Structure 1
Amino acid sequence: MRNKQRPHSIKRHLTFSTVCVVGVLMFVSWLLVYSEARHEINEVYDARLGQSAKTLALSVMSWGDQPPDNFTQSYTHWLNAITAIAKDDDTTTPFGHPYEDNLFFQYRVNDALVAKSPNAPAQWIGTSDNPGFDMVTAAGEQWRTFLLVFTLPDKRQASLLVAEKEAIRQELMTEVSLTIGLPQLLLIPLLAVIVVVLVSRAFRPLGELKETIAARSVDNLDHIHVAQPTVELTPLVKQLNYLFSQLNNAWVREKRLVSTAAHELKTPLAVLRLNAENALSAATKADRDNDLTNILAGIDRTDRVIQQLLMLSRVEQQKNTDTTHIDLVPLLREQIAALAPMALTQQQSIELEGRDPLWVKGHPVMLSVLFTNLIDNAIRYAGEGASISVVTSCSANTVVVAVIDSGDAIPDEIKSRIFDKFFRGHTEKGDGAGLGMSIVKDIAEQHQASIAIRSPYFSDHGNGFTVTFPIASVYESR
């Protein structure tokens, strides 16, 4: 059994994606700020370390290899005073700052250590005689050092090393990172809430559209309207309204077809029932045979009605389909060939006259229905031995097809109503629903064509139904 896939939430996906993307951008921003802060902090601290070394070197040059007698005592007193007064690492005192415990210097002349800070290691920690910056490990700690080499007035070489604990820089970098990163981190939940609210507001028209569609039913296919239309929803609403129009038209056609079928089949079925009852109660074989013959005729009439109703349904279904370029000559040949056996049963002649090709723009199915009806009517009503001609012609702008028969002329009272729906003129000859000619007129109008009757067509007899189409260029059709 195939697992049913859970619906995908666009709103949830959009919210999650936005928060994730912003979170990643914040992290990248934090990395860039941290990298730049690290670079700047190292520059400032290195500059201060170098400046301190030079300032101190100017003082020790006058010492030679003998520092003042009270140097160590005074320095120790100052450091102890800072420790005694300062309550924490952030407290400043008249004697300096507690962070001074993270700084020291060493001074040597030639290779002999002459002076140092009280908190400095007893041994020289420099790993190289090259002056400049270096990273040294002493007493289990990393120290950033700056070595300054100079010559004393008595020509001896002196070295001054100033050191700063690397942890100071790392601590400052950590504080900068937290100062920048924590607010950004705390902003992510707030951002998520804001995104949820904004996305919900942006999707409000979609919710409104959903409710509007939910209110539609087969009995209510009115166009939908959104109070706050958006660029994204407008095409969707337009297509939905088009679909509702199509559904409504189909529903109307279905109801009309059912109503027409009920109306037209009611009488033939009643007649069939009456003839069947008469056949059952017939006193003689001749009466029964007559009733059975009437039943067969009634079945034929009912079949004719059903065919016309099906034809009406086909025409209705084709109304909104796309048109194409059609050569009428092959189509007319096909319809004549299909109806020729019916004409032969009445000793009628039927022929196609005129030039080809004849290009028009239309629906092949609907045009087949149109000419089938015209030719079928001519065969049915022209009478035995009549001649029927389908004559084609064209001009610069039009294509003309005329269906001409040599039967009796149509009376004026019938001619004026022949295209009315459900009108049957020759009730003694016709067995349809009176829909054929109304279908013909409907199809012609849909193709921007006109239909005209000429009766009598000859001096005192004959009928001609002429359909005039706008021409479609053969080059355009290609």
Structure 2
Amino acid sequence: MKSIRFWLIVMLTSAILTSMLGAIFISYNKVSHETEELYDAELAQLSRVLESLLSIQLDYTQDANLASLAEKDRVINTPDVHASGEFDLYGHKYEKKLSFQIWTSQGVFLLGSGHGLDMTEFVRKPGYQIEQDTAGEQWRSFTRYSEPLKVWIKTAQQMEIREELTHEIASLNVQSLLLMLLVMIVLMVIIIQMGFRSLLRVSEEIESRNPSHLAPLDEREVPSEIMPVVHALNQLLGEIDHSIERQQRFTSNAAHELRTPLAAIKVHAQNLYPQDERTQTIQQKIVQGVDKLTHLFNQLITLSKMETELQEEGGRESSKKLLLHGLVDQQLFPLSEQIKVKNLQVDNAVATDLVCTCPENSMSILLRNLIDNAVRYSDENGMIRVTATDSADGMSISVMDTGPGLDEQQKQRVFERFYRAAHQQVTGCGLGLSIVKEIVERQQYRILLHDSPLAEHGLWVELFIPKEINMK
């Protein structure tokens, strides 16, 4: 399921990250351009400073011929910086990345630094240029001709300095933007969480609703964007609550109104004293029809209650510790007349001290339907056995009979409502195992169908209660 919060966080983070990458790209280009302009201006300014210094020097010495200087005096050697950092008391390591040269109008070298561009070649080309020295390093140079001094002045700077400065500024920008991105993401997540708080509260209220608790949702502090949804949901909850109430009233009224007439019809039918075999057969069919209708009605009432009257704790009844042997005896007692008529041998083989932790009402209905099916479908003089075993994995309850049994296809469909296996002469309504399935699914049990070991034919129904559920 997609999360709106996750989608918002991902999309907003992507948008912010894209914007910041764009800002970093623009900032890098802008810093690179401004750095180029600043350093170019410094080169031009340095050339003018050199011109002024030469002019002062020549005026002071009254010597206009710098070519008369000794070769060693024409080259200014920059001392090496041996400090652990970038500078010491004698200079800066970047001095070797700066260079200047002074040439006569005839191209004779007069004065310059002892490093940088080749001093043996000179091109009379004023302005800015990109040049390369003998070591392969690139330099940005500025050349101009001094008319008063009749000399060419060239200042140069290694391109590495410009790139290093640009990279450092860009790195600082990236670090700042990444830190800002982290802060913005944290704030964004907090803000989105706060914005969704009311929606989460509504979601929690909806999750807390069940058929036994259909109170309207609290519409206070509900965002206006989802107010129509909450209002519509409250109307739906109200309609469902009224529908369940009407269904429960119908069930209660039907139980009262139908059971009495059915019982009266059966009594009147039994009070008839038929004089011939035909009337006697009709009497038996009336009694059987009333019994079948009563059984169907009771099963429908039970199924309706199982579906609508959900108990507390999310639709599950509270469990209690029950002696399973006594619970089986309680379900066998109402069937004692049928057991006697069919001469069935019923064996309650459950240990008398075996305790089952389960909801009493659901387990009673479950066992009643399993045992009732076993009694109905067992042949005359047949056998029914109820057993239970407790293991490390859980408790297993088995109901075995000697009836016609089920083939594999019938075992797949027998839990469907109103399904009746073919070639069965026993009266029934096809709801017993449907009710069993409702209880098993609601209580998170498991149920398996096997062939009975008691006879050649028969059904073995095994109910398994996992340990973690049986311990609750």
Instruction: Tell me the TM-score normalized by structure 1.
Output: 0.50
CA displacement 1:403-435 (0-9 Å, x = unmatched): xxxxxxxxxxxxxxxxxxxxxxxxxxxxxxxxx
Partner of 1:101: 96
> What is the correspondence of 1:291-302 to structure 2 with a 5 Å cutoff?
none
| Separation in 1, partners of 2:127, 2:204 | 76
Q: How does 1:235-250 map to 2 (within 5 A)?
A: 235-250=228-243
| 3-state SS of paired residue (1:220) | coil
Contact 1:54 1:148 survives alignment (8 Å)? no
SS in structure 2 of the partner of residue 239 of structure 1: helix
The CA distance in 2 between the partners of 1:285 and 1:148, in whole Å, is: 141
Residue in 1 aligned with 2:19? 25
1:229 aligns to 2:222 (yes or no): yes
Residue 37 of structure 1 pairs with residue 31 of structure 2: yes
1:363-419 alpha-carbon deviations (Å, 9 max, x no partner): xxxxxxxxxxxxxxxxxxxxxxxxxxxxxxxxxxxxxxxxxxxxxxxxxxxxxxxxx
- SS of aligned partner of 1:134: strand
Q: What residue is the counterpart of 2:186 in the other structure?
A: 193
Change over 3 Å in CA distance of 1:68–1:87 after alignment to 2: farther
Note the residue ranges of structure 1 that are not aligned, 5 or more in a row: 1-6, 307-478
- Counterpart residue type for residue 34 of structure 1: Y
Superposition pairs of residues 123-162 of structure 1, within 5 angstroms: 123-124=119-120, 129-138=124-133, 139-151=135-147, 158-162=151-155
- Per the alignment, residue 2 of structure 2 pairs with 8
Whole-Å Cα distance in 2 between the matches of residues 251 and 112 of structure 1? 110
Distance 1:125 1:229 in 2: 82
- Corresponding residue of 2:66: 66
Post-superposition shift, 1:105?
A: 1.3
Partner-residue secondary structure (3-state), 1:176: helix
Offset of 1:217 from its aligned partner?
1.5
Residue 143 of structure 1 deviates from its aligned partner by: 0.4
The 5 Å alignment of 1:428-447 reads none
DSSP-derived class of the 1:149 partner? strand
Deviations 1:222-262 (CA, angstroms, capped at 9, x unpaired): 10116642233323322221221121122122123323433
Tell me if 1:115 matches 2:111: yes
Higher CA-based Rg: 1
Amino acid at match of 1:142: Q
Q: Number of aligned pairs?
A: 280
Amino acid of the structure 1 residue aligned with 2:212: D
Of 211-220 and 197-206, deviating more is 197-206
Aligned to 2:423: none
- 2:206 & 2:144 partners in 1: Cα distance? 84
Give the match's secondary structure for 1:106.
strand
1:49 aligns with one of 38, 43, 46: 43
Paired residue for 2:274? 282
Distance (Å, rounded) in 1 between the aligned partners of 2:24 and 2:100: 35
Q: Say if 2:156 is the partner of 1:163.
A: yes
TM-score by length of 2: 0.51
The 8 Å contact of residues 143 and 152 in structure 2, kept in 1 or not, is answered as yes
Q: Would you say the 8 A contact 1:107–1:158 is kept in 2? A: yes
SS of structure 2 residue aligned to 1:21: helix
Partner of 1:215: 208
Could you tell me which amino acid in structure 1 is paired with residue 119 of structure 2? Q
Evaluate the alpha carbon distance shift between residue 57 and residue 261 of structure 1 in structure 2; reply closer, same or farther with a 3 A threshold: same
* Structure 2 unaligned blocks of 5 or more: 298-472
Distance 1:268 1:87 in 2: 110
Q: Deviations over 1:168-224 (max 9, x none)?
A: 111111221122211222344444433333333333323322332232221111101
Q: Secondary structure at the match of 2:190?
A: helix
> Residue in 2 aligned with 1:335?
none
